[in-house]
Amino acid sequence: MSYDLVIRNGTVVDGSGFGAYRADVGVVGDTIAFVGRIRERGAEEIDAEGHVVCPGFIDGHTHMDAQVFWDPAGTNSCWHGVTTAVMGNCGFTLAPVRADQRELVVRNLERAEDIDPGALAEGIDWSFETFPEYLDAVDDLPKAINFGANIGHSALRTWAMGERAFEQEATAADLALMSGQLSDAMAAGAIGFSTSRSEHHRTSDDRPVASRLAAWSEIEALVSVMGQAGRGIFEVVDGAMLATDPVARAAGLDRLQDLAVTTGVPITFGMVATKEAGGLLDFMDRAAAAGGRFIAQTHCRGISVLLSFKSRLPFDLIPQWSEFRSRPLDAQLAGLRQPETRADLVEAARDFDYGPFRQVGAQARPPDFEGIKVYRSGLPPNPSVAEVARERGVHPVEAMVDLAVESGLEQLFIQPSLYPQDEATLLRALRHPRAVMTFSDSGAHLSQIADSSIHTHLLGYWVRQRQELPIEQAVSMITLAPSLAWGLSDRGLVRRGMKADLNVFDASRVAPAVPRLVDDLPAGGRRLEQRSEGFLATVVNGRVTIAGGQPTGARPGRLLRGS
């Protein structure tokens, strides 16, 4: 047989969860043609001696709907072995959209997902109106990774209702319009339908995003469209699932269970592994017994916001700091090197009453110096600001200023989520058969969060450092499990006949790198770039897209349509 690509001498971790084995992998075109000992030479060869060969990673929760138009590489996901990303989560998509109402779609996106409005204005080719037309537009784009797309409820509502989508419930005529467009989207290959009912999702003019105005009967009607078609997955962000009131929480879960059982549509949701969230794992088991299928999207390290002088700091609302932070960065650096200016800023931040301080939009939260980490290494442990301050014999504010000046303002700090992660619940969720390790939010919060690296964190931290998971199980969690959850039946395994999305990495080195802030968005916007360590190659549809940590320029990615 003549092979286009042969990956030799690797340790195959095939995605199934079964034990690893030594073998070669032969690729013809975009398909795995043979796994075993291959004697023939390939047109292209990769020597994987000492490396793992596994399926490409699948990320089921991204917001790359706009980014796909200006970033053919698919960063930062591409650096961490992700070969397929599902976008259109939380009800936020660019389509459907009427040509004279595009600002309504942007209104839903720019604050709730903190996507740079300049990039949205300059980076998108608005060559579409309906969701099927959006899918065709993505299909035509050059791209280095594969994409699947949900249709978002907020966009669907604004397309059907205009401004009324932000003010009232839908009429029967509105619902008929939405149902028809949803049916067309599913027929055209939408992976699923998504919505948000979270109080945290607000528009740029401080109103609830459009999906939050929907009556529950509207949700039931739209998900029923999917049930009748017998296709798709429903992704929901519902604050009722984590309500502090146990009666409200139970009512919310019962409502979701009834929806899953009645429509037959699988339902997926993001799960931050707090101690209280463990009850959601039990709920999924109960719902399964009743005939409803639920899939939790888990994280593997807890969601954190990254702080820096180049982006946001906990001190930005303090009057003295607010004026100082309005200056250009080079002027700020010069000011921090002046003892008097520096002392005034440190004193202001040290003595400020943070009691009434409240987070507004994307602004940083009050500082907890024991909890905020200094980002020195891509994997834990990283020291806290308080620990560094004690080592230096200075106040924590002064330590942050010192580190910033010493790095030319490049130093990043890790601020933990508002929702503290419970390690026991996290490990239980990672191992749970109804959970998938995904939920990166890639494409959103570009200057605050760098969670495209959760896949390399899983392998570097939980597999190698902590040894809580065997590599076979961890790889299956980020390959076969999401392929089954999102209906990507030709990916997720290293088997003959499967599509050749593959990773080759050194299990002794694989890890996230420390991020850095770059100004390369359309219109010059700022984002966090985070690469990785330990990858020899990434292959998408049979072509090498990353080799030795560098992009090859190949653009073999495809739109993956649901069926």
- Is 43 contained in some domain? no
- Is 334 contained in some domain? yes
> Coil, strand or helix: which one is 366?
coil
- Is 406 contained in some domain? yes
Domain, as residue range, for 366: 305-351+361-416
Quick one: CA dihedral 549, 553, 559, 560, positive or negative?
negative
pLDDT in tens, 447-459: 999 999 999 999 9
- Is 421 contained in some domain? no
**Mean pLDDT score of the chain:** 95
The Cβ of residue 246 has, within 10 Å, a number of other Cβ atoms equal to: 9
pLDDT in tens, 514-527: 999 999 999 999 99
Residue 52 in tokens: 């793992």
- Is 408 contained in some domain? yes
pTM of the model: 0.96
Return the residue matching tokens 């290959």: 189
- Is 377 contained in some domain? yes
In DSSP notation, 21-86 reads: EEEEEEEETTEEEEEE---SPEEEEEE-TTSEEEEPEEES-B--TTGGGT-TT-TTGGGGTEEEEE
Burial grade of 561 (CB within 10 A; 0-12, 13-18, 19 or more) = middle
- Is 64 contained in some domain? no
pLDDT in tens, 54-82: 999 999 999 999 999 999 999 999 999 99
- Is 319 contained in some domain? yes
- Is residue 362 very low, low, confident or very high in pLDDT (cuts 50, 70, 90)? very low
Q: Measure Cα distances from 455 to 56, 343, 438 in Å.
A: 11, 42, 8
Q: Is the confidence at residue 364, as pLDDT, over 60?
A: no
- The residue-averaged pLDDT of 119-142 equals 96
pLDDT at residue number 376: 98
What is the number of structural domains in the chain?
1
